[in-house]
Structure 1
Amino acid sequence: MDELPIGRRVAYWRSRRKLSQQVFADRLGKSKSWVDKVERGVRRLDKFSVLHEIADILQIDVQLLLGKDPERRSDALTCIDQVEVQEIRAALERYDAMTAYFDAAPQPPPLVDLGKAVNHAWLTYQYSRYGELTRSLPKLLRDAQAADAGSAGDEVRLAANLLGQVYQIASSVLRKIGECELAWLAADRATAVAQRADDPLLAGIATTRVGNALLAMGRARPALELNVNIAHRIDTSRGDPAALSVHGQLLLQGAMAAARLGDSATVDDLLIGAEEVAGQVGGDENHYWTSFGPTNVELHRAAAAVELGDGGRAVETHQRLAEPLFNALLPERRAHHLLDLSRAYAQIGDVGTAGEMLLRGDRLAPAEIRCRPLAHEVMADVLRRTRGTPHCHLAELAEQMGVGV
C-alpha cells in the first residue's frame, strides 16, 4: 500500500479539524511559512517531539501521522472520530429558541438556501457518505436552529419543518455509527419540532427515528409499541402516497422491533400490512425520504428473518428480488441489505458468501460497511470461522476496517 507523504497527512488532519495554517502555526509556536513548507514536503518532519506536539493539537494518535494513507482508512474519510462526535453533541445542546425568547435570535440563513442544504444532506445520507455528512452536520444544525429561532409569520412552520428534518438526519447517521444516545436525543428533538411544524407526516417519520434509536439501545418493546401506535394514527384514507409511505415505514420499523423480541407472529402481521400499503403506493418511492415501496418491504422481510435467526429465509427472500428493482434503490438501502445478507449467510454456515456480501457492500457504499459497528462484528465472525487464509480482498478490507485477521 502506497504511503502518503507525512506533510499531506498533516494537511489532511489540519483541514479536517477546520484549522487554518495560521491558527495551526500559532498553536505550534511556528510560522505559517513553516507549516506550509511541511505540508508541501519542502521541510522534513524528523523530530518525534514535534510530531507528538502536532498529533496533540490535531487530537489524533501520532501513528496516524506516521502510518498509512488516511484515505484508505475507515476512520479517516468515511467515518467519524470523537472530536467530530463532540462537535455534533455541542450543536445538539444549543437552545437558540430559548435564547431568542430573551434576546435577539442569531442571524438565520435564508430558508431557501437552508432547504437546499437539507436536501443535499438527505442525499448525502442516502448515498452513505457518512463522513462527509457528519463533518457538515454541526454547521447545518446551528443554521437550522438559528432559522427556527429567528423565524416569524408565514416562515415559522417551514423553519420548524427544516429543523425537524435536520434532527432526523442527525439521528439516522448517529445511529449508524453507534452513537445511540445522541441518536435518541436528536430523534426526540425531531418529534417535538415536527409538532410545531404542524406536519403529521413529519412527526410520523420522526417517530421511526425514535424507534430505531430505542431499538439500538436494546429497548425493543417500547420501539414496537411506539411505531405501531403512531402508524395507526396516520390518516391514509385519501390514498396520499406520502401518507401511505410514512404509515408503511412505521409498520416496517415495528416489524424490526418485533423481530428483535422474537415475536414472529407480529413480524408477519406487520409485514403483511406494509406489503398491502406498498401495493397502494405502487413503485418504490422516496416520499419523506422513506425509500418506501414493495422492494423495500422485501428488504425488511429479509432483515427481520435475520433478526429472528432464520438466515435461510432471508436468503430465499433475497433470491426472489427483482434485480432491476433492487439496483434502482439508493446505495444506503442496497448496502444495508447486503450487510443483512452477510449475516444471513453466516447464520447458515456459508461464511465464504458472507464475506462476498461484505465486499459487495463495500464496493457499493464503503461507509455502510466500514463505519458501522455491526459490520465490524460480522467481519470478525466471518474471519473467525474462515478455514485457512481469508481471500486477499476480504483480508484487505478487514485491515482497512481495523478488524484483526
Structure 2
Amino acid sequence: MIDRRHVLSMGAALGTTMLLPGTEAAASAPDLGSLRRRLAVGRAQFRSARYADLTEALPALLRDSLAALAQTTGARQQAVNALLARVHILASELAVKSGDSDEAWDRARCAVAAGETSGDVLVLAEATRICATPLRRQGRAADAVLLLQDMITTLADAASGVPEPPLVTAGGSLALTAAYSAALEGRQTTALSLMDMAADAAARLARTTRARSSGLTTDQVHLYQVGVHHLLGQDITAVRTAQRIHAGALPTSERRARLGTDTARALIAVGDYGRALTALRAVEDAAAEEACRPSVRALTRELLVRRPRLTGLDAFAARTGAGPR
C-alpha cells in the first residue's frame, strides 16, 4: 500500500481549491440537480470533442460547484464533493487536451481530494485514474503505475459494498491506464498483465445485460492495446490490433479520434507514411478539434519531415495548424 497523499502532494499542496482562469466566487449556488445537468452537458461536450465550448462553460460550472460546497452542510456535502470531484476530473481531462500539464495535474489533485471527502470509492477511482497522464508528463510513470495499482486494490477491498458492474468497470479502466503507464517505462510484463486484467473485466461486463452502457468494452481494450504495443516497440502488432477495431463501435468522437492518433503513431514507426496520413485524416473526420491538438500537430510535422511530398499532407497541415512555423 502506497501513501497516495505523498505521491500526489509532491510539488504542491494537495487539496488546494483553485479557480479556473476567469472564475470568481459565486454569491449563491444553483441546486445540485442543476449542477449535475450542467456537468452532464460538459461531459457530452468532451466526449464529442467540442473543447472550445467546454472551455467556455467550465469556469462557471466550477465556480457554482464551489459555491454549492461552501453553502452546504452535513451529509449533503458528500454529494456535492462527489460532483465537485467530477468537475475537476473534467477540467483535468480538458487541460490534457490543450497540452497544459501543470493545470491537468492541479485539477487531478483537487479531484482526488474531493473524491476522498465524498466517500464514494468509484468517484475516487476515477479521480485517481486521471492523475496518470500529468504524472507521466512529469516523468513519473512509475508513480502513476503504483498509484493506479493501489486504487485497484482499494476497489477490491470495497467489493462487498459496491454493485459489481460499476466496480468491474472502474477496475478495468484503472488497469488500462496503468498498462499504458507501465508500457511507457518499457515494463512489458507488467503492462501486458494489466492489459489482461482489463480484457478480463471487459469480458465479464459483456456477459451482463447492460454491457454497452458500462463504459468498458473489448473495443476499448483493443484501443489501449494499440498504444501499449507501440510504446513497447511492437508496432506491427499495434497496427494489426488497430485493424481489428471498427471505429464506429467506439462510444465517442473523442475515442474514435484517439484510435486515429495511436494508429498514426504506429504506422509512422513502421514507415507506412501514406496510411499514417489516412489515420490522421480519420482523427479530423471524428473530431476536427482533435486534429488541432499539440500531439496530432506533432505527428503531422513528423510526416512533413519524413515525406514532405505526400499527397494531401500540405493541405491537412494547413487545415490543422501544423504547417511550418
- What band does the TM-score fall into relative to the shorter chain? 0.7 to 0.9
CA distance in 2, matches of 1:217, 1:301: 23
Deviations 1:295-342 (A, max 9, x none): 111111111111223221111111223x2x743421111111110000
Alignment partner of 1:259 is 2:183: yes
Tell me what 2:314 maps to: 395
Asked whether the equivalents of residues 170 and 183 of structure 1 are also in contact (C-alpha less than 8 Å), the reply is yes
How many residue pairs match? The answer is: 301
CA distance in 1, matches of 2:290, 2:137: 16
**Structure 1 residues 2-401: aligned runs within 5 Å:** 88-89=20-21, 91=23, 106-235=27-156, 236=159, 240-282=164-206, 285=212, 287=214, 291-321=215-245, 323=246, 326-370=248-292, 372-386=293-307, 389-392=309-312, 394-401=313-320
Decide whether aligned partners of structure 1 residues 122 and 286 sit closer, same or farther in structure 2, where only a CA change above 3 A counts: farther
Paired AA for residue 174 in structure 1: A
Decide whether aligned partners of structure 1 residues 192 and 113 sit closer, same or farther in structure 2, where only a CA change above 3 A counts: same
The runs of 5 or more residues in structure 2 that have no matched partner are 1-17
Asked whether the equivalents of residues 124 and 132 of structure 1 are also in contact (C-alpha less than 8 Å), the reply is yes
RMSD: 2.1
CA distance in 1, matches of 2:27, 2:148: 35
CA distance in 2, matches of 1:329, 1:153: 38
Identity of aligned residues (%): 28
Decide whether aligned partners of structure 1 residues 252 and 328 sit closer, same or farther in structure 2, where only a CA change above 3 A counts: closer
For the pair shown, which has the larger CA radius of gyration, 1 or 2? 1
Asked whether the equivalents of residues 125 and 133 of structure 1 are also in contact (C-alpha less than 8 Å), the reply is yes
Moved over 6 A (4+): none
Decide whether aligned partners of structure 1 residues 284 and 220 sit closer, same or farther in structure 2, where only a CA change above 3 A counts: farther
Asked whether the equivalents of residues 89 and 182 of structure 1 are also in contact (C-alpha less than 8 Å), the reply is no
2:109 aligns to what SS in structure 1? Answer: helix
CA distance in 2, matches of 1:356, 1:214: 31
Asked whether the equivalents of residues 219 and 249 of structure 2 are also in contact (C-alpha less than 8 Å), the reply is no
Instruction: Give the deviation of 1:153 after TM superposition.
Output: 3.7
Q: Under a length normalisation based on structure 2, what TM-score does the superposition of the two structures give?
A: 0.87
The runs of 5 or more residues in structure 1 that have no matched partner are 1-85, 97-104
1:366 aligns to what SS in structure 2? Answer: coil
Q: Under a length normalisation based on structure 1, what TM-score does the superposition of the two structures give?
A: 0.70
